[in-house]
Amino acid sequence: MYVLAQLLVGAWVSRRITTEDDYLVAGRSLGYGLGIFTIFATWFGAETCIGAAGAIYEEGISAGSADPFGYALCIFFMGLVFAVPLWRRKLTTIADLFRSRFSVSVERFAVLLMVPTSLLWAAAQIRAFGQVLAASSDLGVGITITVAAGVVIVYTVWGGLLADAITDFIQGIALIVGLLILWIVVFSDNGFQVLASVDPSRLQLFGGGERPWFEIAESWAVPVFGSVVAAELVTRVIACRSATVARRACLAAGSLYLAIGIVPVTLGLVGAQLMPGLEHAEQILPALALDRLPPILYLFFAGALVSAILSTVDSALLVAASLVSHNIIVPMRPGITEKSKVRIARVGVAAFGILAYVMALHAEGVYDLVEQASAFGSAGIVVIVTFGLFTRIGGATSALAALGAGLIVWVVGNYVLGLPFAYIAALGSATIAYLAAGRVGPRPAVA
């Protein structure tokens, strides 16, 4: 019933969609309320409540360096540095910047790198949705992931960014209340005593002296730099009604993210002692809720988790579809109507939803999917966005060199060599490649 209510809200709002801008960037109309909550809800979902809580349950607080701490920093960084110049460009997708600043070839190459990232994010949410359903039923995880995929694909095809933003507002409030209810119940019982008895080694954010500095730097660089110009976040900034709203919404959302993110962190810590030996560590929050809350409150909490997941997965699928439809397909069909543009985007959402479902079935876990999403191809993206927005250095040759170098170094370092600092190496390589190619390539026409 809760999921049905979300679907109905999305369907009702979707009646206002008439143009591509309405569907992809909410007509650039988001104010503070919708802006703050949609930015907060974009990242605060399965990766925090399911993935990060499960990782902290197993390894301690150092496993939460990415989420919530790293992603909160990422949102602050977006507000302080990138939000205003991005908004002033009047983009529809982040790939539009690459076309106007560099070339069409850079735009399309970047799309090929960003779409897998969005798919990985969507797969993480679908898998988490399945974990929530599995924790509260006798169904297997594979079956529940299949059910979850069907629901989120239908929900996303109906909505657009405006529907997403409005449901984010509702879902964000539900999530905050649901998490606080569980936290109060657990800690009003014996949570504080359990937290006080946690092994101090599990409370070290940077992992203590045993972890090499480059591993610590890597664990923070991936969420902060890997996601600061992620297409999902940039889309929310573009959709705000002014540059000032965009900047302030990011700063407020980052503060909210960090404050609420402490709840799953502490519940993951005490959960390891309250409910040791879970077969699936990612089920710690729903398992705690099922054990500690009365049925009516558990229903509310499960609905809150579902809200968080829905608010993130539709964003990821929408971004993947928008990049392919707006930046690849529509330019090949001059004169296409607005209605056809929206239809193409919706077909893309359905197709990418099916792909994300397959990825969710075969992933090792939610947290693993999230880390891969943040790192894949993003080193070159953040380098060319930074140089493209703030300097006149380099052109298309520089951008292509940076994208290629960042991707190759990360793939080889991560999958072939097993480097514990593969992402940092990719960032450095992309920067060097951009600057080196800028010395020999043609100068950009317009900064």
Q: Is residue 90 exposed (0-12), middle (13-18) or buried (19+ Cβ within 10 Å)?
A: exposed
This model's pTM is above 0.95? no
Question: Cα–Cα distance between 265 and 47 in angstroms, integer?
Answer: 12
CA proximity to 127, closest of 364, 431, 330: 364
- Rg (alpha carbons) of the chain, rounded to whole number: 21
Question: What are phi and psi for residue 74, nearest 5 degrees?
Answer: -60, -45
CA proximity to 224, closest of 70, 366, 354, 363: 70
Is residue 153 within 8 A of residue 360, CB to CB? The reply is no
Is residue 310 within 8 A of residue 341, CB to CB? The reply is no
Q: Where are the alpha helices (DSSP H) in 187-324?
A: 192-196, 213-227, 231-239, 243-274, 284-292, 295-324
CATH code, residues 2-362: 1.20.1730.10
86 Cβ contact partners less than 8 Å away, ≥ 6 residues apart: 94, 97, 234, 237, 238, 246, 389
Question: Cα–Cα distance between 213 and 392 in angstroms, integer?
Answer: 34
Single-letter residue type at 39 = I
Per residue in 46-75, pLDDT (tens digit) is 667 777 788 888 887 777 667 788 889 999
Is residue 91 within 8 A of residue 263, CB to CB? The reply is no
Per residue in 367-378, pLDDT (tens digit) is 555 556 656 778
- Could you identify the residue written with the tokens 């077909």? 347
Q: Tell me, what DSSP letter sits at residue 12?
A: H
In tens digits, the chain (447 residues) has pLDDT values of 666 776 777 777 777 777 888 888 888 999 999 999 989 987 787 667 777 788 888 887 777 667 788 889 999 999 999 999 999 999 999 999 999 999 999 999 999 988 888 887 777 777 777 766 676 667 776 777 777 677 777 777 776 788 778 878 887 888 888 888 889 988 887 778 887 777 777 777 666 556 677 777 888 888 888 889 988 899 999 999 999 999 999 999 999 999 998 888 888 888 888 888 787 787 788 888 888 888 888 887 877 777 677 667 777 888 899 999 999 999 998 888 888 998 898 899 889 888 888 877 776 655 555 556 656 778 999 999 999 999 999 999 999 999 999 999 988 988 888 888 888 999 999 999 999 997 765 555 544
CA proximity to 100, closest of 329, 321, 396: 396
